[in-house]
Chain A
Amino acid sequence: MTTSTEIADLRRIVRGATLPAFLFAIWWAAFHFEWTDTVMFVPIGKVWETAVRLSDNGYLWRSLGASLARDLAGFALGSTIGFAAGIALGLSRLLENLVGPTLHTIKQISLFAWIPLISVWFGLGDTAKVVFLSLAAFFPVVLNTFEGIRSVPRELIEVGRVFALTPLQMLRRVVLPAALPSIFAGVHLALIYAWLATLGAEYLLTSGIGIGNLLTDGREHLWMDQVLLGIVVVGFVGFALNLVATRIESRLLRWRGTSTGQY
């Protein structure tokens, strides 16, 4: 029993798969008919073999683990500081006027330009990488937290005043919940930027291991299979981080649909 929507869905899947299938076919044919010299260009099967080999000897997992540990440490540190700073700036006009313009100026410096400076101040190891990642995560969180607090509807504040809430209650019960979607948008961005920054830091500060090192290593030895594997892993991690963030977001913001107003 196939309904018309099922047929439409199936057609969409087939259409979506057409172009990738076509590209893979060209790739496969290039080897099958020996159109290329195989020094750099590798058959599809070789990428899979390399994936299995590096997975079995643990190199892939150690690299991925090191990158993710760095990523999450920097993300946690940067977004926590960003969250605190965003609340302070959102609640105090004085602080906003004092620090805001400087913050907006520094924000304009292209992220990766910080790495050489940070490497002078914090060395070439994990400390420097985590400092850089925190910086990458800090900006989106501080800006979105600030924006979120500033755009809390006035009616809500008035309701809070009517209930004679203390400033702390006002913050916890009124301001932060209302600002939550914006704060979350910032956290979500911070996750993406931190992952980007992880790669950039590993390319430029080459000590230690990580997915960035796996890629650099593959490029230096002209191991196309290892580079392609690295790219797939990078894409997959980005995809997974996005998925997790979206899930948490929808779960946390579910209450917004049905406001019960319970204390």
Chain B
Amino acid sequence: MSTLTIALPSTEAPARGRLLRWNDSLTRFALSWPFPLAVLLAWYLAAEYEWLPPQILPPPAMVATTFVELMQTGELPDNLWISLWRVLAGFLAGGLGGLALGVLMGLSPTAKDYLYPTFRLIAQVPSIGWLPLLMMLVGIGEALKIILISKAAFVPIALNTYKGLQGVSTRFIEVARVYRFTRWQLLAKVVFPAALPQIWNGIRYGLTHAWLALVAVELLASSEGLGFMIVYGRQLYQLDVVLAAVVVVGAIGFTLDKLLAVIEQRLLRWRRDGF
């Protein structure tokens, strides 16, 4: 504990001329590099001195070369596009369905009574649990991937849309009554804007889950896509291919999430202007 100082919000103004200002973006950026570089160096040394055989741990340079090669031959871009197309199609199908069901259950208590228990039952079993059954019903073609990814996106979007709409405070609604809004004005100007943050949360979860489901289904039942590249590389003990594909999987996951975060900021700004 002696070297760990408890860094808690300081009660006094920060002293000027301190060596490190934690919130300084340059400081943060500079400090983010030593650790990954150290890992890279350890990896390089482990491969260089053959502490581990190359099938188990290919040197970093080899992974980089393989990555460039796979880009040039088109193998990586081709598989990447297939994966992206699948995730987009599944996310759109599942997302639109989820939005529709969420809106229906959020606005109509009767519909909620009829549909919610069944929805909970289906949602209780994770997407990956449905996979064997779906494989039996629709085979291992494109339909399987799209259905599974749709289901993964559908559940969080439907759930959060429903909860968000249901949670709109009655106070808001009373204000709208005072203003004598029509039913449509009430929905468009009050209910939906108020529920938007939670609906958007659901959409973000939906995309994350869709990407998870895509990788899972491509690892288990596919002959193309990023997940297939990982499995195929693993079978041939070409760990450089596996690592290159894993890096791309991480990069895409990161980009998708960032994209939605940026859109969210836009949406919320629009919301502030709306009031």
| A residues whose Cβ falls under 8 Å from a Cβ of B | 11-12, 15-20, 23, 40, 88, 91-94, 97-102, 105-106, 108-117, 119-121, 152, 154, 157-158, 161, 167-168, 170-171, 175, 195-196, 199-200, 203-204, 215-216, 218-219, 222, 224, 227-228, 230-231, 234-235, 238-239
Cβ contact of B220, chosen from A18, A152, A196, A203, cutoff 8 A: A203
Q: Is the CB of B8 within 8 A of A157?
A: yes
Closest chain-A Cβ to B35's Cβ sits at a distance in Å of 5
Expressed in whole angstroms, the Cα–Cα distance for A109 and B253 within the complex equals: 7
For window 240-275 of B, CB contacts with A under 8 Å fall at: 242-243, 245-246, 249-251, 253-254, 257
Cβ contact of B219, chosen from A19, A92, A102, A116, cutoff 8 A: A116
For window 213-239 of B, CB contacts with A under 8 Å fall at: 214-216, 219-220, 227, 230-231, 233-234, 237, 239
Contacts of A17 in B (CB 8 A): 117
Cβ contact of B110, chosen from A15, A23, A101, A161, cutoff 8 A: A15
Contact stretch, chosen from B130-138, B170-178, B188-196: B130-138
Count residues of chain B with CB under 8 A from any CB of chain A. 63
17 additional contacts (CB under 8 A) given A112-B212, A113-B215? A92-B7, A94-B31, A97-B28, A98-B35, A101-B28, A112-B215, A113-B245, A115-B219, A120-B56, A120-B239, A157-B11, A161-B11, A219-B136, A227-B133, A231-B130, A231-B132, A235-B125
Closest to A104 in B: B254
Q: Is the CB of A110 within 8 A of B22?
A: no
Closest to A98 in B: B35
Some 18 contacts from A to B, beta carbons below 8 A apart, are A20-B118, A91-B6, A91-B7, A92-B5, A98-B34, A98-B35, A109-B250, A110-B212, A110-B214, A110-B250, A117-B234, A154-B9, A170-B6, A204-B219, A215-B132, A216-B132, A234-B129, A235-B125
Q: Is the CB of B113 within 8 A of A12?
A: yes
Q: Is the CB of A18 within 8 A of B114?
A: yes
Q: Is the CB of B132 within 8 A of A235?
A: no
Closest chain-A Cβ to B258's Cβ sits at a distance in Å of 9
Q: Is the CB of A204 within 8 A of B1?
A: no
Q: Is the CB of B118 within 8 A of A19?
A: yes
| B residues whose Cβ falls under 8 Å from a Cβ of A | 1, 4-9, 11, 20, 22, 27-28, 31-32, 34-36, 39, 55-56, 110, 113-118, 121, 124-126, 128-133, 135-136, 211-212, 214-216, 219-220, 227, 230-231, 233-234, 237, 239, 242-243, 245-246, 249-251, 253-254, 257
Expressed in whole angstroms, the Cα–Cα distance for A230 and B135 within the complex equals: 14
Cβ contact of B216, chosen from A112, A175, A239, cutoff 8 A: A112
Contacts of A218 in B (CB 8 A): 132
Q: Is the CB of A108 within 8 A of B118?
A: no
Q: Is the CB of B128 within 8 A of A199?
A: yes
Expressed in whole angstroms, the Cα–Cα distance for A116 and B214 within the complex equals: 15
Cβ contact of A199, chosen from B35, B129, B230, B245, cutoff 8 A: B129
Q: Is the CB of B124 within 8 A of A105?
A: no
Q: Is the CB of B132 within 8 A of A227?
A: yes
Cβ contact of A230, chosen from B28, B126, B132, cutoff 8 A: B132
Q: Is the CB of B136 within 8 A of A101?
A: no
Contacts of A101 in B (CB 8 A): 28, 32, 36
Expressed in whole angstroms, the Cα–Cα distance for A158 and B11 within the complex equals: 8
Contacts of B251 in A (CB 8 A): 108
Closest to A111 in B: B212
Contacts of A224 in B (CB 8 A): 133, 136
Q: Is the CB of A231 within 8 A of B215?
A: no
Expressed in whole angstroms, the Cα–Cα distance for A109 and B208 within the complex equals: 11
Contacts of A203 in B (CB 8 A): 128, 131, 220
Contacts of A18 in B (CB 8 A): 114
Closest chain-A Cβ to B29's Cβ sits at a distance in Å of 9
Contacts of A121 in B (CB 8 A): 56
Q: Is the CB of A109 within 8 A of B32?
A: no
Closest to B253 in A: A108
Given A97-B31, A219-B132, residue A231 in contact with residue B4 (CB < 8 A): no
Closest to A195 in B: B126
Q: Is the CB of B249 within 8 A of A20?
A: no
Contacts of B233 in A (CB 8 A): 116
Expressed in whole angstroms, the Cα–Cα distance for A170 and B6 within the complex equals: 9
